[in-house]
Amino acid sequence: MIIEQLLILIKPDGVKKSLTGNILTKLSEARMVIIGTKAVKVSKKLAEAHYYQLKDKPFFGELVDYIQGKIYGEPWDRVIAFVYQGEDAIARMRKIAGATNPEEADPISIRGAYGRITTKGIYENVVHCSSDPSEAEREIKLWFQPDEIVNSVYSTKKIIAGKGEKTVWA
């Protein structure tokens, strides 16, 4: 079995609905370890980079607003980001997260239990879950600095920053 890492985000609708505990309980059934976590106020730049593959979709603008939590406002306009690690982690965590469309998701999955489709047609599906190892690597490097993750997972390099050195992704 291959050890994988992936990015999980509790999206602003999950934060607003106070689902953090419920989501973590469901995810804990897969017995993965958390190797990084933080709360993030998502900038437009980060949101667009995260969803760059969907930039030509008609719902891209609303998707960017959604992950930034714009429609919810203070104090819900944030996500809780996690890096999980474990055997076959991506497939197992995506199964617990459920299908992208909350109406099609298994009712006991996170998205099936807690997601909805807004009247504008946006899937408020509560969590983000990386889809494959290369996307997971891209997303983890986008959301986390090397020193925010307790296990070393990808190669890093040192660069000169001001008077000292800084470790960044290679």
Tell me which of 19, 123, 128, 136 is the catalytic residue. Answer: 128
List the one residue out of 146, 105, 136, 140 whose CA is nearest residue 123. 105
- Per-residue DSSP letter, 109: S
Q: How far is the CB of 63 from ligand TYD (least distance, A)?
A: 5
Instruction: For ligand TYD, give the closer residue by CB, 32 or 47.
Output: 47
- Per-residue DSSP letter, 150: S
> Token pair for residue 151?
């296990």
Instruction: For ligand TYD, give the closer residue by CB, 33 or 54.
Output: 54
Q: How far is the CB of 117 from ligand TYD (least distance, A)?
A: 8
Q: With contact defined as beta carbons under 8 Å apart, do 90 and 133 qualify?
A: yes
50 is catalytic: no
Q: How far is the CB of 112 from ligand TYD (least distance, A)?
A: 13
Instruction: For ligand TYD, give the closer residue by CB, 116 or 166.
Output: 116
Instruction: For ligand TYD, give the closer residue by CB, 90 or 153.
Output: 90
Radius of gyration of the chain (CA): 16
- Cα–Cα distance for residue pair 23/96, rounded to 1 Å: 9
**Which amino acid, 155?**
S
Helices (H) and strands (E) in the chain, counts: 7, 8
Q: How far is the CB of 100 from ligand TYD (least distance, A)?
A: 3
Q: Applying CB under 6 A, which residues contact ligand TYD? A: 54, 59, 63, 100, 122-123, 125, 128, 131
Q: Which residues have a catalytic role annotated?
A: 128
